[in-house]
Chain A
Amino acid sequence: MVRKCTVWVIVVVIVFFLAGCWDQRLLKEGRLVYASAFDLQQDEKIKTTAIVQDMKNGIPTNVLIQGEGNTIRETRMDMDNKLSGDFDPSKNRIFLLGEELAQKDIYQFLDIFYRDPSSSISANIVVTEGNGEDILEKMTQKNTLIAEFLIELLSSAENSTLVPKQDVQSIWTNMLDPGKDFALPLISLKDDEVVLAGTGLFHKHALVGSLTLEESTLFLIMSNQKKKVARFVSKISEEKEMRIQNYISYNFSKVNSKLKVLSASPENIEVEIKAKVDITILEFPEDKLSNEEKIQKLNSLISKDLTAKAEKLVKKLQASNSDLFGIGRELIAYHPKTWEQIEWEEEYPNITITPEIEVDIVGHGIIN
């Protein structure tokens, strides 16, 4: 009995000393990274720029830190050597991919995030025009710390259907899907100002082109990804005296878009994207919106304008070989035989995609 007890006591005590907290990562010792940018150097070495956030007397401050290496991990090790405490990217909120790096295979660089269980795969991921480091080096932007500025910029843009809502985790499936490509927000430095420039188009793992913000909104509308608001401006006439009178601004209130494969023979693939949208008018000085005829006329004018823009968008997507609408996925799912026979990479730019947008004005604000 006594022996048994002694054994137990020894075991318990040893557990305490042996466990030794080897997995422990103390919060107070970690230096939390808030944003990081990855750029490719001339010699294909990676340069990581990270923003480490600290609190000084209750006020958050940013510290910029850079590291170089052959792999992302190596750059982290390099940065850790320049930093007190442990370099810790597990609360990273936003990743910036430099243009040059994004044009290569981004999957190679993101591997580390999918492998490490503590990494923040819910972080936003964006591409930058030029190098990401230039943007982070601004440190502050319009009275806001750069990392927070970028995150807030993105989240407001996502809410107004300007850029697709993507994070590190959600692009993973798209990267591995042969039938669907994805787009990431595109940020650029214009006249020393950080601005949202549009959307970067990806094909497989690489950046292949970009959309403007207007095209990006249109794409999101056509793929049923409208968020809280989606504002848009169309040109409806040419001859008005003042420039503002030629335009109408409106908000998409209800969107219903359908992708239909009309013909799926390997020689001739025809796809139709038909969107029925309800809009409310936000700005139209000419007014007279109580007139039914006027409304019908506006409906057809806006529909025409949007359809023309959509056609341009589709052309652009086909030219850059980025299958954002997931037509390939549609073929895999419903026409597997066709899919097996064709080489999608080569076929996609040549297929026929007919977009059509039908507009219905359902509201015009509180004046009549």
Chain B
Amino acid sequence: MGQNSFSLLIVLAEHYITELFEVSLVTFWMYKNIYIGNSFIYTILEGVLAMNDQNQNTQKIQNEKKGIEDQRVIYTIIQKEKYIQDGLNHTDDLFIRELKKNGKLIKIFFLDSLTDKTSLETNIIKPLIDSTLNDVKHVITSAKLITTTNLDIAIEMIPEGYCVIMEELSEKLLLAPFPNEHSSRTEPENERIIRGSHQGFGENISENVQFIRERISSSKLTITLSKIGETSKSKYALIYLSDITDPEILKKIENRISYIQTDSIQAPGAFEELIEDHTYSPFPQFLNTERVDRVVSNLMEGRVALVMDGSPTALIFPVTFFSFFQTAEDYNSRTTISSFFRIIRIFCFIITVCLPAFYIALISFNYEIIPVEIVFSIKSSLEFVPFPPLIEAAIMQLTLELLREAAIRLPNPISQTIGIVGGLVMGTAVVEANFVSNTMVIVVAITAISSFVIPSNELSTSCRILGFPLMIGAALFGVFGIVIGLTIILIHMCKLKSLSLPYLYPLAPFDFSALKDTLIRAPVWLMKVRPKDLNTQYRWKTSNARGWRKDEKSD
């Protein structure tokens, strides 16, 4: 007891000293850089705060370790088991195989998703059962074997594909790696990228968990496996990082899922509909992706992923509107280029929603704002079109949706034919027959292309559909109608929540620092903290990664 309070005192003192040191450091920095301007100070402050955050975190871990080392001796195998389970946050893919050998209890810990069970059986379990040797170490036929007494090392190694063999009445832990073989690489067809990982999810849940585990080898990565559906008993897993994700979010998800009483759920889409906040909203409130790296980076932000057996799509929640404009490639290419494409994507979103409506408003209400150089050519192309602009636009937009819908289901060679028939033959014939004007074809083509620029398929479809009410508004009231329509959409988006978190987050509520990863993609070293909205347990992301610049200043 006395020792405990003493160590507590030391820890406190240490904490205050570091705090004090940091404060003086900050003042020194501020004093030194005051002339550079506010923004620089902010960055410094932000960095120091982030460092502080990190320090506290590592300190916490160290403290925990210290306490354990002190009391390690009194652990029994049951306590050790509990300790490992606690260390891995009772993740559901941790399996414990118990067996008795010469009257001694032996426990083998391994992660179901990561470990190759066949080799575990032939190399460890079978020899252990068959052999009569007393020393476990000599029985195991694994090439690599680590011996340790530290439980924390064991906890760290398990997520890397090691299995831990624990013996009753022995301090020693044996660690042997049995990582699962990779299944073949498949790139998701709907989310291709040029540079970066080409790994997509498979349809087996443990395989998918393995993909994630391979990328985040942390003991904090927690997997909760459950079954849903009275009859179908479909397996699904909630994946999150227990030391980042806000427990409130998790509680909310679990609570919402607990209300699902259904006969069967086939796909994450159905899940989405059952637990999302606004079912009738045109905007997707959860992110669907088949990319492992996208899931992983979202997990690292403090979000929760749901994968389901029999579906390569992972569901990520909660998300903001701008999550749909981020791609995995953004973080892999240069910041200027990624920022440029971010801006293009958001611009394309606006084009997709507004352009047909704007064109209708122009040619049927306010053509005085069309530049005089093109007004006559637009007018001449309109001259023989029998329909009002709204019908004209609707015909073309619907034709486009028709082509898209037809092309999805057809096998590849035939869908090319559709492209030619639809795009080339119909496009020109429709204009030549004066059903639709030339300019309208251009407008619809630009709209279609911009809608395909949006990385998320759901959002791009809802954008095109959102265009229709705006078109009607434009046909009835001109530019005024568009303004009304856009206002309604904006109000709706401001009201929208994804798992009770604001959908339009860095804009409403406004958070300047979070804009670094929304409208543009700032350099990674500038994104020092996680966004505020997810309320993560700690916000630190990177410290002063470019500190080396100070060392090389002499050049």
Contact = CB atoms under 8 A, between A and B. Distances in A.
A303 to B, nearest CB: 43
Contacts of B366: 118
Interface in A20-40: 21, 23-28, 30, 32
A120 B475 contact: no
Contact of B382 (A19, A28, A58, A120): A28
Interface in B374-389: 375-380, 382-383, 385, 388-389
A318 interface: no
B405 to A, nearest CB: 26
B477 interface: yes
A55 interface: yes
A26 B368 contact: no
A55 B376 contact: yes
Chain B: interface size category:
20 to 34
A115 to B, nearest CB: 15
Contacts of B363: 26-28
Given A16-B476, A55-B380, A58-B380, A25 B365 contact: yes
A19 B385 CA distance: 23
Interface centre among A28, A60, A90 (most CB of B within 10 A): A28
Interface in A22-76: 23-28, 30, 32, 53-55, 58, 60
Given A19-B477, A90-B368, A26 B388 contact: yes
Interface residues of A, number: 23
Contacts of A60: 376
Contacts of A27: 362-364, 367, 370, 375, 378-379, 382
Contact of A23 (B365, B380, B382): B365
Contacts of A19: 476-477
Contact of A32 (B379, B472, B477): B379
Interface string B377-413: 1111011010011000000000000000000000000
Interface in B329-364: 362-364
B491 interface: no
B73 interface: no
Contact of A90 (B367, B379, B475): B367
A93 interface: yes
Nearest to B480: A23
B372 interface: yes
26 contacts: A15-B476, A16-B476, A19-B476, A21-B364, A21-B476, A23-B365, A23-B477, A25-B365, A27-B364, A27-B367, A28-B379, A28-B382, A28-B383, A30-B379, A32-B375, A32-B376, A54-B380, A55-B377, A55-B379, A55-B380, A58-B380, A90-B367, A91-B367, A91-B368, A119-B368, A120-B368
Interface of A: 15-16, 19, 21, 23-28, 30, 32, 53-55, 58, 60, 90-91, 93, 118-120
Given A53-B376, A60-B376, A90-B367, 14 more contacts: A15-B476, A21-B388, A25-B364, A26-B388, A27-B362, A28-B383, A54-B380, A55-B376, A55-B383, A90-B368, A91-B367, A118-B366, A118-B368, A119-B368
Q: Which 10 A-B pairs have the closest CB atoms?
A: A55-B380, A90-B368, A28-B382, A27-B363, A19-B476, A27-B367, A118-B368, A24-B364, A26-B364, A55-B376
